[in-house]
């Protein structure tokens, strides 16, 4: 029995040394490496999606939809140059948290933000009536979307904001716009 004690103690010492070395290696991080979002998280999915071109994004989601996860991981790996494990985590996150394609370009400011409303190649006619009174506004700075926003403002009680928006997108005066808006708020 005494002959087994020494080899068992040596074996325990070796195992303890191995465990300590594995723990120490696990704690080390490469210098300058930024922490990645957790695998499968929505943040990782957004980050991964932002790194893809529109075609790559479409192809990866097509592969995910077809159940070809390995092909999607390979495509992500080839597209980004990330490691295999990072590509696997990214594709898993994209599958779990689907992301729409967003181009990396900064979108141009909306015409309303730029100062001058956009002019369309056609004239839009907006007609409002109540009883015997009918008013019409015709402008090439109006369209269905803008007129819909103006009507929504008028119906929600923000008549002054609606009148101001109407004057901005047409050639009517503020008083004429107020008369027109008064016919809209029901």
Cα-to-chain-centroid distance, residue 105: 13
Cα-to-chain-centroid distance, residue 8: 59
Cα-to-chain-centroid distance, residue 35: 22
Q: Which of 95-112 are b and which e, b meaning 16 or more Cβ less than 10 Å from the residue's Cβ? A: bebebeeeeeeeeeeeee
Cα distance between residue 45 and residue 60, in whole Å: 12
> For residues 91 and 83, is the Cβ–Cβ distance under 8 A?
no
pLDDT in tens, the chain (186 residues): 677 888 888 888 998 889 888 887 776 554 444 444 555 588 888 889 889 998 999 999 899 889 899 999 999 999 998 889 999 999 999 988 888 887 765 444 454 455 678 888 888 888 888 888 888 898 888 888 888 888 888 888 888 988 898 898 888 899 999 988 888 765
Cα distance between residue 68 and residue 61, in whole Å: 10
Looking at residue 186, its pLDDT comes to: 57
Give the residue carrying structure tokens 């119906």.
155
Cα distance between residue 107 and residue 109, in whole Å: 6
Q: Which of 29-49 are b and which e, b meaning 16 or more Cβ less than 10 Å from the residue's Cβ? A: eeeeeeeebeeebeebbeebb
Please name the helix (run of DSSP H) or strand (run of DSSP E) that holds residue 127, with its range, or none.
Answer: strand 124-130
pTM: predicted TM-score of the whole model, two decimal places: 0.40
């Amino acid at each position: 029995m005494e002959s087994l004690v020494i080899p068992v103690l040596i074996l325990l010492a070796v195992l303890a040394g191995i465990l300590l070395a594995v723990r120490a290696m696990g704690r080390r991080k490469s210098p300058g490496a930024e922490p990645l979002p957790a695998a499968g998280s929505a943040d990782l999915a957004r980050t991964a999606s932002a790194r893809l071109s529109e075609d790559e994004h479409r192809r990866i989601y097509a592969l995910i939809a077809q159940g070809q996860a390995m092909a999607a991981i390979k495509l992500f790996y080839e597209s980004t140059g990330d490691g295999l494990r990072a590509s696997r985590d990214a594709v898993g996150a994209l599958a779990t948290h689907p992301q729409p394609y967003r181009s990396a370009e900064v979108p141009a400011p909306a015409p309303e933000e730029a100062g001058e409303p956009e002019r369309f190649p056609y004239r839009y006619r907006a007609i409002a009536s109540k009883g015997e009174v009918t008013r019409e506004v015709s402008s090439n700075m109006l369209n269905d979307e803008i007129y819909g926003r103006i009507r929504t403002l008028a119906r929600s009680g923000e008549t002054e904001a609606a009148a101001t928006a109407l004057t901005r997108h047409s050639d009517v005066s503020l008083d004429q716009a107020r008369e027109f808006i008064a016919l809209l708020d029901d």
